[in-house]
Structure 1
Amino acid sequence: MRTGILPMLPVDLMDIFGSLSMIVLSILCFQCALALNRKESHNIIWTFLVWFCSGLLLFSLSRSIGHILKHLLVSSDLAHVWEGFRPVSGAMNTVAFILVGSITLFFSRVYRTYRRMLEDKKSIERANQKIAKWNLDLENMILERTRDLSASEEKYRRVFENSKDMLFICDVRGIIRDINPTGVDLLGLETREGAVGRNLFEWLDPGEADRVRLHIIKEGYVKDVELNLRRSAGGNLTVLLSGTAVYGEGEKPAEVEGTVKDITGRKQMELQLLQADKLASLGQLSAGIAHEINNPLGLVLGYTKLVLKEAGPEKELNEDLKIIEKHALNCKKIVENLLKFSRATSTTKSLVDLHDLIHDVVEVVANKFKVERVGLETRLAPDLPKVQADPDKIRQVFMNILMNGRQAIEGAGTIAIATSFDRQKGLISIRFTDTGSGIPQEIIHKIFDPFFTTKPTGMGTGLGLAVSYGIVKDHDGEIRVESNPGQGSAFIVELPVIMTDGRKMDHEVMQDERG
């Protein structure tokens, strides 16, 4: 049994209490380290703290249990048992201490590795930020480029849709893939869908279509090829076709992009201008012939009058001479009027009597109309005011209207000329009424268009009424037509009465003059 147990009791109790306290504190430290590590598992400091507290807990348990066991065995007279267990307890304490020290020493290396990992992580984060920025910039560039492409496509689509020429895309066989609204209208169709999928060359003459197709395949393009286009809605157009082959991966063209321009009006104008040039030449020839005829006519008239003076009272001879004189005078008037119409003069206005101009024109056409069984009637208003006008140009208007009326009459008929004066408006009206076939309502709005004619080629230029319209407008007047098919037509020319001070005579001016 131990001696002197009482003096050692406080020390033993303190040792036991300290050992228990060490166990409790090491457990609390271990729990705290675990809690911190759970919150920030990626933090190497907290990981080290868990390891360190684990070693500390092991050391505390080994040492504290050994001390408590020693006191219990010694106080129970089992010191010899403790003597056998003490080396084990010491070895466990040593192992625990070595473990704690190893953890501490190992941490420095782990910490350096951890720092390098942190730096690598930051580098990766910076790289990721740069990559994210580059991605954002790239996305913005792609978005901007997409917007630019969309705007460009929209712009060229507007050009495509709004072009006044036909624009088309087709394959080398001619199958239409896309076409603009002008092209749809030019082909005589109603919708784009009615054109897409059909062969463009079906609207062309077969020989011309083959020639265009082969030229595109061989040369890669065609330029301003004049073609005849047969519209689905009826009628033919003269067009200029240009096209360029678009090549794909192979050497053969994949598709053709092209334009078709309607030049029908231009071609008609060229033909009509050629006809007008011929008419001008004919006018010059007529003037020359008229001069040549005028000289012998003068001799005939002179000798006729001379023979009449010297002839005796022989009645039959005098009557024959008077007949010769009468017809020679008629021929002379016709020649003089022909000379008037053949002269090309600039507009020179003067005060003229419209009735005189009507008589001049009637004398020119009277014999021709009589032979063709077309009667001429005149109903001229008395006291018609004179107008400021170019007499040659107004004669031309009257002649054009009369000839147009004659051509509208099939067989026998009548053309009536009537004049009137509206004092309220200050307008003189000249009305030409024929008993012809009339004008269809669908073309009546076109009759004053240049080169518009319903006559076969070579039978008319389509310029007469258009020129007349321009002349009347140049005189501040109006020209219009009233017609019903099968009931004849009426052309009305209205010219203003111009006073000496340049004012038009209307109701207000007349009131001022009276007032």
Structure 2
Amino acid sequence: MISISMLPVWLLDFGGALAMIILSGLCLHHALALARADRESPLAIFLLWFCGALFALAVSRSSGHILKHLLTFFGKKDLWLGLAPYSGSINSMAFIVIASVTLFFNRIETIMERMVRDREKIEKNSQDLFRLNKDIEAVIAERTKAGMALRIAHEVRNPVTIIGGMVRRLLNVYPPEEEGRLKLTHILDQARKLENLVSKFEAVRPESKKIFAPLNLNPIVAEAAESLQAEARAKEVSLIPALSRIPLFFHGNSSLIKIALAHLLRNAVNACAKGNRVVIATEMTAAGCQVTITDDGPGISGEILEVLFDPYRHVNRQSSGLGLPYVKQIINEHLGTVTVTSEQGKGTTILIILPTHLGELTGVAGGTYAI
């Protein structure tokens, strides 16, 4: 009577145990296929380990249930009592493996997400460096071309001027009917052509800003400040952008200006101690677009301040010796100015003025473009 009443329970237990083994085996099979398809996928590896541990748990637990009923049915319940602790320990180990795999891969997922973000940042920085390298190559090429043109113009103009002057003096001496006068006139015409050619060489000078374009200063300053936020947080220094509410348009190159601003901000952050502040502000003034970098750090001594932008005399900077002179060169390329004021113990202020694109065009037209 008891056997008949327990039969449905045993059948259900047997069926459930077999179903657990079959379903967990199918999960393991699919997880293995996913892992083989993408061996570098953290999710696929996690599923493989998880399904493997789940399959081991299903086999252990289901086998224990089946074995328990079989031994009980054949009257060997005492034997099951001796095997039960081993079966329970296997189940416990499977549970521990499942929990460990889940917790481990949860941490791995966080690390992988951070690695993906870092890779995106590296790719973006690589693209920025590539563009900057192209811009610097263009600047160097333009400088080389302009320098060669001016040198050739200088070397040719002197003898042409002498030849033209002597021919004009000879023409004043020769009578109009002399045959040699026609030859001298021809020489003078050729000298004038050489002078025109020299003028064309000199005209290369204003063409050296092809890589410059009208830009809004505010986004460039914001990107430069954002790129230094991690360094500032590591030193527990507050880096605060205070951007103008109106667009500040100027004529220049965004990569070069960003490099210059980032270098100045890095110097300010490195000079500051825990709890100091660095504020970078922008505004439009009568002189043009203004960028002010102010910090409340230790300041700069007067001796260093005098040679701050001198690549040959100033050797006490924390960064590379050519950093600040390069910054000054970039600002000069944009027809701007950079000045530094500082008082030891009270901080440093860096003031950058960049003319608007209209002012820049006027400057070039007036011949003030710096080579």
> TM-score, structure 1 length as denominator?
0.33
> TM-score, structure 2 length as denominator?
0.45
Structure in which a larger fraction of residues adopt strand: 1
Of structures 1 and 2, the larger Rg is shown by: 1
Q: Which has the higher contact order (CA 8 A, sep 6+)?
A: 2
Structure in which a larger fraction of residues adopt helix: 2
